[in-house]
Amino acid sequence: MNRTGPTDSKHSLDPSGWIDHPAGMLTQPYHLYIERADAGRNMARYYVLEISTTLFGDTCLTRRWGRIGFGGQSMAHHFADESDAVRMFLTLTRQKRARGYRPPS
């Protein structure tokens, strides 16, 4: 490419103020890692919940679970609104705590 002339890098194709607008970003990070272990039953499980934003601006709740030390499984839930994802995050957290999952010590 021939770049003999100056560039107009101070001009943007984005609408004015678009970059400063926090749309598509989460209000706070949501990440949870909990474990459930019982040596008598040969049980060592983990459960991970995380809310993030996709490249398209949607809110995504990702769940991962399995045996500690192995890859496990994952599932993603997509939401148009962050509050719905947070509601599901809290519901799943309560369910797992009731089953004995706790943060690692």
30-98: CATH, from 2.60.40, 2.20.140, 1.10.490, 1.10.357: 2.20.140
The pair of three-digit structure tokens given for residue 5, joined into one six-digit string: 């002339």
For the chain, what are the domain ranges? 30-98
Residue 73 and residue 64 in contact, taking contact as beta carbons nearer than 8 Å: yes
Residue 53 and residue 59 in contact, taking contact as beta carbons nearer than 8 Å: yes
Predicted pLDDT at 20: 44
Q: Given a cut of 80, is residue 94 above it in pLDDT? A: yes
Predicted pLDDT at 29: 83
User: Could you report the per-residue pLDDT of 46-84, keeping only the tens digit for each?
Assistant: 999 999 998 988 899 999 999 999 999 999 999 998 999
Predicted pLDDT at 27: 76
CA distance 39 to 103: 17
Predicted pLDDT at 36: 96
Instruction: Specify the range with the lowest mean pLDDT, choosing from 16-20, 56-60, 97-101.
Output: 16-20
